Amino acid sequence: MSEIVSVDVPNDPSLFDKIVNLSKRRGFVFPSAEIYGGFRSTYDYGPIGVLLLRNVKDAWWRAMVQMRDDIVGLDAAILSPPAIWEASGHLANFTDPLVDCKVCNERFRLDKLDDPNTCPNCNSKDSFTEARQFNLMFKTYAGPLAESGAEVYLRPETAQGMFVDFANVLQTSRKKPPFGIAQIGKSFRNEITPGNFVFRTREFEQMEMEYFVPPDEASKYYEYWCTERFQWYLDLGIPADKLRLRPHDEDELSHYSSGTSDVEFLFPWGWDELEGIANRGDYDLTQHANASGEKLDYFDPATNTRYTPHVIEPAAGATRTMMAFLLAAYDEEEVRGELRTVLRLHHRLAPYKVAVLPLSKKDTLTPVAREVLKSLQPHFMCDYDETQNIGKRYRRQDELGTPYCVTVDFDSLEDAAVTVRERDSMEQDRVPIADLLAYFRERLD
């Protein structure tokens, strides 16, 4: 075992820049439209990032839908008519206070300024315009004419689709409260001041679930989902000292919420939200029922009563959650006098589970390595790399967070075995090729 000297990374003020650089260099995240100078606050997820983001969403879906029998899935439309957003209150209330600096012409959200009297860009005093409310929804038009009758909106959240489809899901799924509807999908918000890499962008993905409960059980399930969702982040490797559950103060609560708590992560810039868990009451179903004229309630034959369910909503951002997992997993250590960068990602999240690395490109090794790859690909996401020396390839896989590397060497031609290297400890096992699948299933499944 090589000597390892820990480097204190969590308090490293440059951690944010390291993650941004790693993301570009290793294919996690690219600036969108970069060859045209970039397009502010939009990002493309590269070959590695798309795998990590998918694994984050799959882990959420597994916990929220696959492993439960009281939650079903939905994929609602992104485009929707104004009637939905009028009923939900978004047309009137989904706004941020916008101010402009009269000296440098930069725009800011007034409620996010450290000092409401000083411009953070040019340091001018008392240079802001009067605050005006800015609606965050993107408007577009359906059909060939841009007129008021053709107005539609890109959804600013996935939640409303689950409320609008409540009756359809209730009837077809044969569920009864308490039950939930889960959805993962793109949302769009015309943020005034997007920033902090992929944390706040105008186009992002949400992982939301609406849990419909009898009114007198809402408080119980609100507490239950606060605990469940906090534990999910711990189970996937975020250290407890990097997480907190923060209840909202009274003046923070939305008008429909009787209780909201945020799961917050300690980002390089401070504590910030990963997920909100809200007790939304019966506001949404009641609003849509009144606006549409359709019944959105539940008749309980056991008690012979009809009621509008209350809703508990855990709502997480997939992209900012992915960023938190990257920050939490990033580590540096000194190995034999050299700095090793490693992403200690939980194996469920790791973009590649196994990398197959032939020791050389010689024709004698390539067929064996390809056969090993072929045997593992139906079961795990695998990488294949035969360029550069084996040490550099190990380091590349460490930076990608790959839990295991399989090296096919010249001894493999004689003993039909390979060397398996574990990412975190760098310990190596000699494993018969015939036993590889069982070996990885035991460790990765």
CB 324 within 8 A of CB 234: no
Measured CA to CA, the distance from residue 216 to residue 341 in angstroms comes to 51
Q: How far is CA 80 from the centre of its chain?
A: 24
Tens of pLDDT along 304-346?
Answer: 999 999 999 999 999 999 999 999 999 999 988 889 999 999 9
Pairing of strands 305-307, 417-422: unpaired
Measured CA to CA, the distance from residue 148 to residue 140 in angstroms comes to 10
Name the helix (H) or strand (E) containing 266: strand 259-267
**Spans of the chain below 70 pLDDT:** 1-13, 146, 148, 193-194
> Would you state the pLDDT for residue 12?
64
Tens of pLDDT along 414-444?
Answer: 999 999 999 999 999 999 999 999 999 999 9
Measured CA to CA, the distance from residue 151 to residue 130 in angstroms comes to 29
| Helices marked H in 10-137 | 15-25, 49-61, 82-88, 90-93
Give one DSSP letter per residue of 369-382, joined into a string: HHHHHHHHTTTS-E
Residue ranges, comma separated, of all CATH 3.30.930.10 domains in the chain are 15-94+136-326
Q: For residues 340-362, b (16+ Cβ closer than 10 Å) or e, as one string?
A: bbbbebbbbbbbbbbbbbbbeee
| Bridge partners of residue 45, in order along the sequence | 29
Contacts 24+ apart (CB under 8 A), 219-228: 219/259, 219/279, 221/178, 221/312, 222/259, 222/277, 222/279, 222/312, 225/277, 225/312, 225/314, 226/261, 226/277, 228/314
Other Cβ atoms closer than 10 A to 8: 7
Three-class DSSP category at 327:
helix
> Would you state the pLDDT for residue 146?
67
CB 408 within 8 A of CB 375: no
Angle of the 318-329 helix axis to the 49-61 helix axis, nearest 10: 110
Measured CA to CA, the distance from residue 345 to residue 325 in angstroms comes to 7
352-444 placed in CATH 2.40.50.140: no
How far CA 156 is from CA of 143, 172, 251, 314, 373, in Å, comes to: 21, 27, 23, 16, 42
> Would you state the pLDDT for residue 148?
67
15-94+136-326 placed in CATH 3.30.930.10: yes
The counts of H helices and E strands in the chain are 13, 25
Q: What are the E-state strand segments in 113-220? A: 132-135, 138-141, 151-154, 179-188, 203-213
Torsion of CA 445, 186, 64, 209, to 10 degrees: 170
